[in-house]
Amino acid sequence: MRIAFQGAAGAYSETAALRAWPGADTVACDRFDDVFAAVAKGTTSHGLLPVENSIGGSIHRNYDLLLEHDLPIVAETELQVVHNLLALPGVELPQIKRVFSHPQALAQCEMFLQTLPGIEIVATYDTAGSAQMIRDGGLKDTAAIASARAAELFGLASLRTSIQDYADNITRFLLISRDPRLLSGAADKTSIAFALHNAPGALFKALSVFALRDIDLTKLESRPARGRPWEYVFYADLAAGRDELRCGRAIVHLAESARWVRTLGSYPRWHAAEAAAGTQ
């Protein structure tokens, strides 16, 4: 199993991949687009994408890319994210003038950063990549928000640990592949996208097809439809497998009134308790 992820070695996406699928080979990519390209070309068998964080919200670019590519979701995983403020060994906090990190990590540590007056906040493409930039550039006036593993990989010291705003800082990841076959288990969760005609009650009617069949929506979010100003695409996660009769009928029912419906994948739900027991 070969998994592409966005970021440098030590990125949270790589950590999530190795914890969920120990022994997998991981391949670093500069951009999320490159993760999809690696899977589509067969350079890797799978790609792992962060899609939402319990503090920072959704990573919208990846939802857009899921629609742009025909690469089904085959699994999901979650990672408890612990952020650290990293700098070159011997550097102390009063010396820091800038902090580098990915925008999501900066948002997740907003309250801590507010305690550092006069510090310049610089958004970068990756958390671990920020740590690498400090190491490669010998930047003694700069710190990075990244993982403890990134500190080990790039020889940095931790100035502060666990600086995220909330202890329950969890990121959800989706695993994509060219092959829709599941790695293990049975599908009990389905991700779909759909667009509706602009008419009174359209969203109510769309959601009613799931309520009538007692299907829980664990996520519902709208995104602007590319090339169609002021029109929207809805993303939904259903707590049911696509092959379940009630779920299949609900999606067919939705398609009768929607402009279009697309199933992004049907896969086993992530169960933290099972993962802790080593069964996931």
Q: Which residues are catalytic?
A: 171, 173
CB contact at 8 A, 130 and 84: no
Q: Calculate the alpha carbon distances from 225 to 228, 230, 254 in Å.
A: 5, 8, 18
Residue with tokens 């990190």: 101
Residue 260 zone, left/alpha/beta (φ > 0; ψ -120 to 50; rest):
beta
- The values of phi and psi at residue 138, to 5°, are 55, 40
Contact partners, residue 17, CB within 8 Å, separation at least 6: 3, 5, 24, 26, 48, 77, 173
